[in-house]
């Protein structure tokens, strides 16, 4: 079906073993066998992220879990903090606005990270604890935020830290308990190596208590329902069962490698990609790059759209373009999950080949 290999920052080139797992016959989501599956996936994720109390699984893209995180922790009149340094940070803001919430916005130019001091300064302005929404790995720019420092500050002010870790989880370390993250949001289609269809929220017991107090409307994303069904290792609505099969397999592959080895593998691959693009004379968009993807700026006279087109057509390699006003100006190279130096090498040879002709 596909005539190119994905080097996009999600969905990824899913391992064949995972794809085959998703083709297993269906089980019924109200039976013990499903409970075993969900508990297995949950335990595996906890091992990888140093997970907190409860993991809620939603059949949705990561954005669905982001919306659930907002609509289950906020109430009318709340003043959360939204820390934005890219398109996916802006999504937190859009979701809050949808629900009539007017957050305190920390916004840095795309590519720059949020400074921990910016979070602390916003918290100081408030006279009570609040919820802080931010991003681990900003997929639109390749920037990695310093969640560990954010967590320390959040704890100091008795606040709640909610992190979109969708693109980073499994590639960029973010130990939830150790770093005081109250909600960590992930999805199946990135470094956890499965096809898209499942997202999840790993929640601390203190933020789970907040859900009952929140008054924003939600039904499909009502985490109180998910909590009730979680007691039986079930979901309130029919889940994407075969995607969970795949996710379990992807997680098992990570655990077989070893969690630390898996993160180290991503560091090595990311380092290699950065050396290669530096050799091509390309600069990174972010000064604090993630291990999950590498985002390079195009020289002013080159349109990335045509480069990407040519790389795809001549070499069957698909990188991603920039989004919104970064379209045509950057190339986003995904290396989360199922990629190694040799595979990245071939893809970067293709990019080098096409770039050479544009000098």
**Under rule CB under 8 A, residue 320 binds a copy of itself:** yes
Binding residues for a copy of itself restricted to 108-137, rule: CB under 8 A: none
Tell me how far, at minimum, the Cβ of 89 lies from a copy of itself, in Å.
15
- Of the residues 22, 73, 137, 286, which one makes contact with a copy of itself according to CB under 8 A: 22
**Under rule CB under 8 A, residue 14 binds a copy of itself:** yes
Does the CA dihedral 134-138-141-146 come out positive or negative?
A: positive
Tell me how far, at minimum, the Cβ of 199 lies from a copy of itself, in Å.
9
Query: Which one of the spans 54-62, 105-113, 154-162, 287-295 is the region binding a copy of itself (CB under 8 A)?
Result: 54-62
Query: Which one of the spans 46-54, 118-126, 153-161, 242-250 is the region binding a copy of itself (CB under 8 A)?
Result: 242-250
- Of the residues 237, 267, 280, 358, which one makes contact with a copy of itself according to CB under 8 A: 237
Separation CA 41–CA 63 (nearest Å): 20
Give strand pairing partners of 131. Answer: 160
**Under rule CB under 8 A, residue 157 binds a copy of itself:** no
**Under rule CB under 8 A, residue 327 binds a copy of itself:** no
Q: Could you tell me the two tokens for 299?
A: 């020289």
Query: Which one of the spans 4-12, 157-165, 266-274, 340-348 is the region binding a copy of itself (CB under 8 A)?
Result: 4-12
Separation CA 201–CA 139 (nearest Å): 18
**Under rule CB under 8 A, residue 162 binds a copy of itself:** no
Nearest CA to 192 among 245, 137, 250? 250
**Under rule CB under 8 A, residue 19 binds a copy of itself:** yes
- Of the residues 124, 125, 127, 217, which one makes contact with a copy of itself according to CB under 8 A: 217
Given the complex with a copy of itself, which of 65 and 154 has the nearer CB atom?
65
Separation CA 211–CA 69 (nearest Å): 9
Residue 125 to residues 104, 118, 157, Cα–Cα distance (Å) = 10, 11, 11
Tell me how far, at minimum, the Cβ of 266 lies from a copy of itself, in Å.
19
- Of the residues 56, 133, 179, 245, which one makes contact with a copy of itself according to CB under 8 A: 245
**Under rule CB under 8 A, residue 42 binds a copy of itself:** no
**Under rule CB under 8 A, residue 250 binds a copy of itself:** no
Separation CA 29–CA 281 (nearest Å): 52
Per DSSP bridges, beta strands 330-334 and 320-321 are antiparallel
**Under rule CB under 8 A, residue 139 binds a copy of itself:** no
Binding residues for a copy of itself restricted to 165-194, rule: CB under 8 A: 187, 189
Separation CA 257–CA 68 (nearest Å): 32
139 close to 90: Cβ distance less than 8 angstroms = no
Binding mask 57-86 for a copy of itself (x = CB under 8 A): --xxxxxx--x-------------------
**Under rule CB under 8 A, residue 219 binds a copy of itself:** yes
Tell me how far, at minimum, the Cβ of 175 lies from a copy of itself, in Å.
26
**Under rule CB under 8 A, residue 325 binds a copy of itself:** no
Per CB under 8 A, residues contacting a copy of itself are 1-3, 5-6, 8, 10-14, 19-20, 22-31, 33, 59-64, 67, 94-95, 98-100, 187, 189, 195-197, 216-222, 237-243, 245, 318, 320-321
């Amino acid at each position: 079906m596909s005539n190119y290999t994905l080097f996009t920052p999600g969905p990824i080139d899913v391992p064949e073993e995972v794809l085959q797992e998703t083709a297993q016959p269906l089980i019924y989501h109200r039976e013990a066998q499903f409970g075993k599956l969900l508990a297995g996936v949950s335990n595996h994720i906890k091992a990888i992220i140093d997970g907190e109390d409860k993991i809620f699984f939603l059949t949705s893209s990561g954005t669905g879990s982001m919306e659930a995180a907002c609509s289950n922790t906020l109430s009318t009149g709340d003043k959360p903090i939204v820390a934005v340094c890219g398109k996916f940070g802006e999504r937190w803001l859009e979701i809050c606005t949808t629900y009539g919430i007017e957050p305190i916005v920390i916004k840095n130019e795309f590519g720059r990270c949020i400074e921990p001091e910016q979070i602390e300064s916003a918290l100081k302005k408030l006279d009570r604890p609040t919820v802080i929404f931010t991003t681990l790995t900003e997929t639109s720019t390749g920037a990695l935020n310093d969640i560990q420092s954010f967590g320390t500050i959040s704890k100091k002010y008795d606040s709640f830290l909610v992190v979109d870790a969708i693109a980073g989880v499994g590639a960029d370390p973010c130990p939830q308990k150790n770093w005081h993250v109250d909600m960590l949001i992930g999805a199946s289609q990135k470094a956890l190596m499965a096809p898209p269809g499942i997202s999840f929220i790993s929640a601390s017991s203190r933020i789970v208590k907040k859900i009952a107090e929140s008054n924003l409307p939600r039904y499909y994303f009502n985490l109180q329902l998910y909590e009730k069904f979680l007691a039986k290792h079930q979901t309130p609505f029919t889940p994407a069962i075969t995607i969970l099969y795949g996710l379990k397999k992807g997680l098992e592959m990570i655990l077989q490698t070893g969690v630390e080895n898996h993160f180290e593998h991503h560091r090595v691959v990311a380092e290699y990609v950065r050396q290669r693009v530096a050799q091509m004379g390309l600069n990174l968009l972010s000064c604090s790059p993630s291990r999950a993807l590498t985002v390079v700026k195009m020289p002013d006279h080159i349109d990335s759209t045509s480069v990407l087109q040519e790389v795809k057509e001549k070499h069957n390699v698909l990188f991603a373009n920039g989004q919104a006003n970064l379209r045509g100006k950057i190339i986003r190279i995904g290396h989360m999950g199922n990629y190694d130096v040799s595979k990245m090498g071939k893809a970067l040879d293709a990019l080098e080949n096409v770039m050479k002709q544009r000098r």
